[in-house]
Amino acid sequence: MKALNDSYDVVVVGAGPAGSMASYNASKNGAKTLLIEKSQEIGTPVRCAEAVPRLEDFGINPDPSFVKSYIRGGYLIAPNGKKIVVKGGKTDGYVVERKVFDKFLAIRSGQAGTQIAVKSRVTKIEKTDDGYNVFVNYLGDEYIVKSKIVIAADGVESNIAEYAGLKTKKNPKEICSCAEYEMTNVKLLNNEMMEFYFGDICPKGYIWLFPKGDTVNVGIGVIDSKKRAIDYLDEFLTHPLVEGRLDNAVPVEFKVGGDPVGGPIKKTVADNIMVVGDAAGHVSPLTGGGIGLSMDCGLMAGDVAAQSIRAENYSEEFLDLYEKKWKEKYYKLLMNDLKYKNILQKLSDDELNAIANSIPENLEEVDVGKLAIKIVAKAPSLLRHFKELL
């Protein structure tokens, strides 16, 4: 087993989708890159409902080794059972086996030239004149490696960039508590459609059923709730909204995790360091989806890291190019989703039912701004929630 070198151009902390894509692009563009992952097996433990956008848009072939289901859209289901069908466009995608998918992304990065250290935890980083000393517990031994650039892709519990003064710690009230059973013998409404349930059954969040080949991910995310996420989930399994469809369901896996839905952190770069993925709040506050964003922002971080190595300029001013790139593409979307989430969290079951009754039953996309006009026209009492969107 190859030991760690003394120095690298780029050290990436965390081999989730953000870290594997960042290290892939850094290596592909010529930077000597090390990817460090604390788990002994990349992709585990899984804390995810495993829905990903069209992988072809990332130049990735949707290989059957990790693609478990094709997704063509979803049902948004109101407390009264009214279904809104959203189909086509951005709703196309896949449900993957993340244990395999995350490892696939890491393998792809390794094949581009990245050195990978698994079962290796970064314990701290320390600024030097020309970069960072990265302290790593590598397979039980302590190492210090030098790096010109560190990319913190260490997920929702991120603390690595805090050593550089970047504020990555999340407010617990903005972390969605999630619980999920992967179950077999579930009768879905449609094997290519996701199901989303809203209302008092899942305070300030939603319940999802995602098709995954022979199984279904049945999960919940709640915020600031009186009971634990799993208690709400267990109640849902016998709820009239899914009457009879989960009676014979058998769990084959149970997952828990926190999803940061408070929006992006203020600053994602400083001298010699960038932050990406969940660590940076690259997650839709409305849906909790972060895989596609993490992958894309990871590519941007890796690209800018390689450019900075070529230019021999690792300053915050240079790395700011990364922040500009991701903000240009995603900032408005993330901030709009934050606004929509804040509205959704305030709606009562009656109001959710009124909304479902006032919008078309079939949608090509969810354009909340346009829908708000229809909603308020049919249910004027909801104006107080939607007025800032009109």
Residues that bind ligand FAD (CB under 6 A): 13-19, 36-39, 47-51, 121-122, 153-155, 160, 178, 180, 219, 257-259, 277-279, 283, 288-292, 294
Q: Known binder of ligand: residue 202?
A: no
Q: Are 93 and 192 in contact (CB under 8 A)?
A: no
CA angle, 91 as apex, 346 and 93 as ends, to 5°? 130
- Of 259 and 351, CB closest to ligand FAD: 259
Q: Known binder of ligand: residue 176?
A: no
DSSP 359: S
**Residue 39 Cβ vs ligand FAD, minimum distance, rounded to whole Å:** 5
Strands 141-152 and 131-138: antiparallel
- Of 51 and 382, CB closest to ligand FAD: 51
**Residue 219 Cβ vs ligand FAD, minimum distance, rounded to whole Å:** 6
- Residue of 7, 4, 23 lying closest to 15 (CA atoms): 23
- Of 154 and 323, CB closest to ligand FAD: 154
**Residue 47 Cβ vs ligand FAD, minimum distance, rounded to whole Å:** 4
Q: Known binder of ligand: residue 113?
A: no
Q: Known binder of ligand: residue 48?
A: yes
**Residue 206 Cβ vs ligand FAD, minimum distance, rounded to whole Å:** 11
Q: Does 203 sit behind a cis peptide bond, omega within 30 degrees of 0 on the bond before it?
A: no
- Of 16 and 372, CB closest to ligand FAD: 16
**Residue 383 Cβ vs ligand FAD, minimum distance, rounded to whole Å:** 33
Q: Known binder of ligand: residue 368?
A: yes
Q: Spell out the residues 6+ positions from residue 37 whose beta carbon is closer than 8 angstroms to its own.
A: 14, 15, 19, 106, 116, 117, 118, 119, 120
Binding residues: 18, 37, 48-49, 51, 98, 122, 278, 290-291, 368
